[in-house]
Amino acid sequence: MKKLLLILMIGVVFMSCAKEDKVAVISTKFGNMIVEFYDDVAPMHVESFKILADEGYFNKTTFHRVIPGFVIQGGDPNSKDDDRMNDGTGGRAGKFFGIGREDDPASWNLPAEFNDKEHVKGTLSMARSSNPNSGSSQFFICHAATPQLNNQYTVFGQVIEGLEVIDQIVYVDTPRKQNPGYRGPDGDNPLEKVEMNVKLVKRSEAEKK
């Protein structure tokens, strides 16, 4: 009987370890942000982000839009080149979710998964165009509470460590900070690139660091 209980206990421990959820570590020159995911309310967005992270898709992309009191936005592969003017125009979903052409990965987008999660400081949410079903790889992290975005953009995660990193990124110098009248499309794009690397780790591993 004791042996049976021991085997059952080992099995439970093994299963709990196998099912341990993963978090994202977003590394920048200002430090790391650790993000937990909301699989329960935005499963497709979480899956897409994780696929892209595992591919290394986000590595060396930049935060190309930083607005104090609002958001820092990144995840566009176009931001890897030296053309500031195309930042914010690229990206794709991690796999085919029914939007776009299945044989053309560049056309893959995400259907909206609007939910009751609020946009507060550290919220991870999906950037999009005026089309609700146009989410791709670009995401934003809120610098402050932005209730006007609630139920308009898909929230799929939250920064649980490293909120101070958002504060540092959002205040870096941009053309518009230097000249409030600047009207170029790169007005909120940092003059010095703020690159990121993204990797997925077990929550227990992230908590040890």
Per-residue pLDDT tens digits for 15-70: 444 467 999 999 999 999 999 999 999 999 999 999 999 999 999 999 999 999 99
Instruction: Decide if 16 is inside a domain.
Output: no
**What is the count of structural domains for the chain?**
1
User: Higher pLDDT residue, 14 or 134?
Assistant: 134
Q: Are 209 and 162 spatial neighbours (Cβ–Cβ below 8 Å)?
A: no
Instruction: Decide if 2 is inside a domain.
Output: no
What single letter denotes the amino acid at residue 173? D
pLDDT at 11 over 90: no
Instruction: Decide if 96 is inside a domain.
Output: yes
Q: Are 77 and 61 spatial neighbours (Cβ–Cβ below 8 Å)?
A: yes
Instruction: Decide if 42 is inside a domain.
Output: yes
Hey, what long-range contacts does 39-44 have (CB within 8 A, 24 or more apart)?
A: 41/113, 41/115, 41/116, 41/117, 41/155, 41/156, 42/113, 42/115, 42/154, 42/155, 42/156, 43/113, 44/97, 44/110, 44/111, 44/113
Q: How confident is the model at residue 209 (pLDDT cuts 50, 70, 90)?
A: low
Domain that holds residue 165: 21-208
Instruction: Decide if 10 is inside a domain.
Output: no
pLDDT at 12 over 60: no
Confirm whether pTM is higher than 0.95. no
**Other beta carbons within 10 Å of 208:** 8
Instruction: Measure the CA–CA gap between 45 and 19, rounded to whole angstroms.
Output: 19
Instruction: Decide if 132 is inside a domain.
Output: yes
pLDDT at 208: 65
* Residue 77 belongs to domain with CATH number: 2.40.100.10
What single letter denotes the amino acid at residue 141? I
Percent of the chain past pLDDT 90, that is, above it, reads: 88
Average pLDDT, the chain: 93
Instruction: Decide if 35 is inside a domain.
Output: yes
Beta strands in 71-142 (DSSP E): 71-74, 123-126, 139-142
Instruction: Measure the CA–CA gap between 139 and 124, rounded to whole angstroms.
Output: 7
Percent of the chain past pLDDT 70, that is, above it, reads: 90
Angle at 202 between CA 200 and CA 204, to 5 degrees: 140
Residue 176's contacts (CB-CB under 8 Å, 6 or more residues apart) are 182, 187, 188
pLDDT single digits (tens) 176-205? 999 999 999 999 999 999 999 999 999 988
Instruction: Decide if 7 is inside a domain.
Output: no
